[in-house]
Amino acid sequence: MVKRRRIVRTVLVVLVACLCASTAAEIPAGSKVTVALEERPLAEVVQALAKQSGNAPLAVPDDLRNLPVTLKVADVDYWQALDRLCASAGLIYVPDLEHGGLRLDKALEHEGHGAYVGCMVVKAEEVRRIADYRVIREPRPGMTSADTRCVVRYFWEDRLPVVRARAEVIEVRDAEGRPIRKTQIPQPRPYRVHVEHGSRPPSGTMTFYMTGIPEDADRLSEVSGVVALWWGEGRKELVLDLVPGDAEATASFGELTLTLRKSEPVADGVRIDVRAGLGGAGAELLLGAYGSPYGFYLAGPDGKRTACTVRQVTRNLHLQGDAGHRYTPAHRPTGHVDVVLSCAMPGPMGKGWSLVYVCPERIEKAELAFAIRNLPLR
């Protein structure tokens, strides 16, 4: 069958080169909140914090929604206010891996060892001797039962549409201020395509092992490092009309080429196959990473949009060039990424339906240095 060309409409020119041209941005300041609530339901206090900060409200379990809590803070950072609430109510905030975002839960013990920096909070989630584990997890070459495992979790305010986050521990010092040898578990490479839908929790972790800590040591004087955040500014859109039949449309913008290979109705929705060709210069495909608004959407004739769910991703990429700064890789990924999307679609597919790809106009980046001090060894 001779393929019919689908109509390609460009709403705004997508400059993919902007995705890799990260500029040095100021560290995003933390949101300030003022709350004076006494013996009010927990759900009400959480909503008040969200409204003032611009962040999404934390999920509250049904059995805790009416828990009476008191929070009185004036012009303090969002994370500090949230930590005060948790400390007074015996709670903890953790990533909601099922629904996205963060959720509150009961805490076995309050953990106050962390650092506030800009729009982030960094916390030591676990510091344990390997000998304390019944089973040594994540064994590494040369690791012994005398080594110490440390897990650090960092959270950022989700009012920022963060598309990438990476962290590194730079230095660890014992109680006397002497450097300690550490080995960090490598994180995924930043060029990898994010396949999560737009509900990923605004948090990340880094894990490292420490060697040579005396058995009688009870604390670390400092754990210092840096977290790099990339977030989107502005908004660009590419719209591809969906026309029934065996046809495909291809459009190229900068270093990215999007090809709509197939769209077909299935059950109560539609299945769409898209190929993204990456031509280098750090081009990447954003698929709703970290709860951001970026990714693919199905738009109906009335203009209403529904986020597409990523069902399958197949990558065929290779790198060109040398690696640069640890947070700004200079490699040039080339090749293509095949993405299978699905979305609910009431009614038959016909004229007026389109696939919309949304990406940031530009990417900003900031490196946030942190230092967790006087950290107990458990």
DSSP letter string, 152-211: EEEEE-TTS-EEEEEEEEEEEEETTS-B-EEEEPPPPPTTSPP---TT--SEEEEEEEEE
Lowest mean pLDDT among 42-46, 191-195, 207-211, 289-293: 191-195
The values of phi and psi at residue 227, to 5°, are: -115, 130
pLDDT band at 197 (very low <50, low <70, confident <90, very high): very low
pLDDT band at 37 (very low <50, low <70, confident <90, very high): very high
Mean of per-residue pLDDT scores for the chain? 78
100 versus 137: the higher-pLDDT residue is 100
- Beta-carbon-side half-sphere exposure of residue 340 (alpha carbons within 13 Å): 7
CB 226 within 8 A of CB 235: no
Give me the residues paired with residue 354 across strands.
241, 299
What integer pLDDT is reported at residue 112 of this predicted model? 63
The mean pLDDT value for 119-147 works out to 72
CB 28 within 8 A of CB 227: no
197 versus 255: the higher-pLDDT residue is 255
Residue 295 — left, alpha, or beta (φ > 0 → left; ψ -120 to 50 → alpha)?
A: left
- Evaluate whether the domain defined by 30-114 bears CATH number 3.55.50.30: yes
The mean pLDDT value for 361-366 works out to 86
Alpha helix ranges (H) inside the chain: 17-20, 42-53, 78-89
CB 202 within 8 A of CB 291: yes
d(C-alpha 126, C-alpha 142), whole Å: 21
* Residue 327 clears pLDDT 60, i.e. is over it: no
pLDDT band at 9 (very low <50, low <70, confident <90, very high): very low
Decide: residue 199, CB within 10 A, 0-12 exposed, 13-18 middle, 19+ buried.
Answer: middle
The residue type found at 115 is A
CB 165 within 8 A of CB 228: yes
Closest by CA position to 41, among listed 22, 61, 21: 61
CB 338 within 8 A of CB 272: no
Work out the percent of the chain whose per-residue pLDDT is above 70.
74
What integer pLDDT is reported at residue 72 of this predicted model? 96
Q: What does pTM read for this prediction?
A: 0.79
Q: CA separation (Å) from 122 to 3, 62, 156, 328, 342?
A: 54, 28, 9, 22, 36
In a 3-state reduction of DSSP, which class is residue 145?
A: coil
